[in-house]
Amino acid sequence: MPVVPYVEPDRRVLVSTGTTCGEAIFAEGLPHYGADAVVVARDPEGRLRDLSWAPDTDVEVEPVRLSSPEGLQVLRHSTAHVLAQAVQDVFPEAKLGIGPPIENGFYYDFDVATPFQPDDLEKVEARMQEIIKSGQLFRRRVFPDVEAAKSELSDEPYKLELIDVKSEVDDNEVMEVGGADLTIYDNIDAKSGEVCWSDLCRGPHIPTVKLIRAFKLTRHAAAYWRGNEKNPQLQRIYGTAWPDRDQLKQYLRQLEEAAKRDHRRIGEDLDLFDFSKEIGKGLPLWLPNGAIIRDELEQWARETERRLKYQRVVTPHITREDLYYLSGHLPYYTDDLYAPIDIEGDQYYLRPMNCPHHHMVYKARPHSYRDLPFKIAEYGTVYRFERSGQLHGMMRTRGFTQNDAHIYCTFDQAKDQFLEVMRMHDDYYRTLGIKDFYMVLALRDPNNRTKYHDDEQMWTDAERITREAMEESNIPYIEEIGGAAHYGPKVDFMIRAVTGKEFAASTNQVDLYTPQRFGLRYTASDGTDQPVVVIHRAPLGSHERFTAYLVEHFAGAFPIWLAPQQARLIPVMPEVAGYAHEVSDILFDAGIRVDVDENDGRLPGRVRAAVTRKIPLIIVVGRREAESRSVTVRYRSGNEESMPIDDFVAKARNLIDSKSLEGAGHATEN
């Protein structure tokens, strides 16, 4: 996504009783228009307020500019409201769902008689431009009571439902209203002061639609009301909004590039994977070409783990519920599990993660300090019930196979073992040409300790070990408050894709809590019984998600070692087909994935077909090559060279064995 300029917080501004935030802020000379315009204010409690807010007592507020992350959220939320107004102007029968800001944009859901078509979005966007040009103002109103809100919104059944459950939707979450104000925002005609349109909303909003200077509606899709498949299916319109046109153009260019690299489209073109309605949503089929990529990644991981003295294990896909009560996943993780299966009176679940099974592997035999660190690894398949609206090709599936492992070690070994895990990530990513990555250290929210276990010393130790390992790794990292697991801090590796989108590749943890729960212990050198430390790690994430990322990273033009088909032989004329097959057999025996194209057609067309399939090595043989027992090789770069067969085999094997990135991601398309 386009880089949003960081804006240093402005000095706090004193807002006197009876004065609005906007009046006080603009009296200080701060801008009210343009990309750096102040659009809302943060009150002393940290809540964002409209600039029309007039506090009951003197307070200091922090101006929030349009170009800040929070300012962008407000801009996009406000643009979603303009979208909803435009839709109801163009389609008066449309009923309103919700319209939150999301990453890089916004959406709004509508109940309409027929699904939207592409030209409908053009009409709606044109109407939005008219609304923005008119300069309407946003005005917040507080309903005196629930009945007043129901009366005013009687024609909006979905809004009435939100009121009935005393909930107000904002930022894509349902906020319990409780004692909070139930509010509506009016769009006011700047000249007459008349109300043009209204919507139930918590806010805040930009003061005027004129601040919406660069937006675009991007697509439409079906979506279930409130994400529940049992609810009505609505029509969702997505859009994006930015402080200026340059940032919008940059983002749209990135969207265009992302569409070209979409793993779903490339995966279909290259026959990598498929989804079957008969099998079920989110349960992928790996086709032969995709299985090659999966196998190559798994073999690489096995070789790496063997070198680091991991031992392989295999654990069941289905487990009695007792294990998940022991791990703490039941009853708190139930919504993410597939429904239980009754077998001989016991309840069994498809496993959602491998950790509890690995802990039972450790418990299967007693251990002493001489056994530690004890490292076990498994490409374990797990199943999680993702909602239909969350599924996204291979990026988000209901069944996936993780590059999972657990390290059981002493307290004194924990930092070095965790550091080894971080360096493993670094090696994997750099081998794949992934250079733009960093770590996120997720810590506890100090204001919500009820989410976490209460052993303070355990938290202190886990955070210290984690932070020291991160510092020594020299991999950049940031901290995130509130993202920790209930049993300890965690480290997420984030990769920035070539399209600008960030991708969470893996989660890793130093866990001092689970060993206590499972009774995971070892005999120390002094004969005492001590708890182990568990390190959770999965550097390559899941086969499904990581392969999807690599498809987009390389735009389907995989490095030769990962390419499903590494070479294609093209005989120039039928007379040399026999020689082409002889060369093919030599390459096959050398472990190179190759086929022979004997189709009719001109040579340029057959070469172009191989390029379209993103095959790294295109080998052309004619009479000259047959007579000299040589080959002419065309690389992705477009360069060609001729050489004896043995020299070519040696060169190809070197490219494969060294995991060379030569030509990767740069397939020639002409």
Give the side-chain half-sphere CA count within 13 A for 241. Answer: 33
List CB contacts of 352: < 8 A, sequence separation 6 or more. 329, 333, 336, 337, 382, 383, 384
Alpha-carbon distance of 199 to 146, in angstroms, equals 15
Site of tokens 């971080």: 422
List CB contacts of 338: < 8 A, sequence separation 6 or more. 349, 350, 383, 384, 385
Instruction: Give the DSSP per-residue string, 222-242.
Output: EEEGGG-TTSPEEEEEEEEEE
The residue from 235, 247, 254, 402 that is catalytic is 402
**Residue 21, annotated ligand binder?**
no
The residue from 536, 537, 543, 614 that is catalytic is 536
Active-site residue, 409 included: no
Indicate the burial class of 451 (C-beta count within 10 angstroms; 0-12, 13-18, 19 or more): exposed
Active-site residue, 384 included: yes
Alpha-carbon distance of 510 to 533, in angstroms, equals 7
* Pairing between β-strand 529-531 and β-strand 105-111 as defined by DSSP bridges: unpaired
Q: How distant is the alpha carbon of residue 292 from its chain centre?
A: 24
Beta bridge partners of 568: 595, 618
Q: Which of 215, 264, 269, 248 is nearest to 83 (CA)?
A: 215
The residue from 42, 127, 384, 415 that is catalytic is 384
Active-site residue, 307 included: no
A 10 A CB-CB count for 528 gives: 9
Beta bridge partners of 185: 140, 199
Alpha-carbon distance of 198 to 88, in angstroms, equals 11
Alpha-carbon distance of 352 to 393, in angstroms, equals 19
How would you write 130-185 as a 3-class SS string? HHHHHCCEEEEEECCCHHHHHHHCCCCHHHHHHHHCCEEEECCEEEECCCCCCEEE
Instruction: Give the DSSP per-residue string, 180-203.
Output: S--EEEEEE-TTT--EEEEEE---
Strand, helix or coil at 256?
A: helix
E-strand spans in 292-368? Answer: 311-312, 318-320, 341-343, 346-350
Alpha-carbon distance of 159 to 338, in angstroms, equals 32
3-state helix, strand, coil in the chain (%, to 5): 35, 30, 35
A 10 A CB-CB count for 259 gives: 10
DSSP label at 33? S
The residue from 50, 199, 404, 492 that is catalytic is 404
CA angle 82, 196, 111 (to 5 degrees): 55
Active-site residue, 404 included: yes
User: What token pair was written down for 28?
Assistant: 């200080």
Beta bridge partners of 542: 402
Active-site residue, 614 included: no
**Residue 406, annotated ligand binder?**
yes
Host H or E run for residue 245: helix 245-261
Answer for the pair 559, 659: CB distance below 8 angstroms, yes or no: yes
CA angle 158, 160, 161 (to 5 degrees): 65
Q: Can you give the length of the chain in residues?
A: 670
User: What token pair was written down for 239?
Assistant: 């859009």
Alpha-carbon distance of 389 to 223, in angstroms, equals 7
Between the alpha carbon of residue 536 and those of residues 382, 408, 650, the distances in Å are 16, 9, 40
Binding-site entries:
355, 406, 536
Annotated binding site for Zn(2+): 355, 406, 536
Active site residues: 355, 384, 402, 404, 406, 490, 536
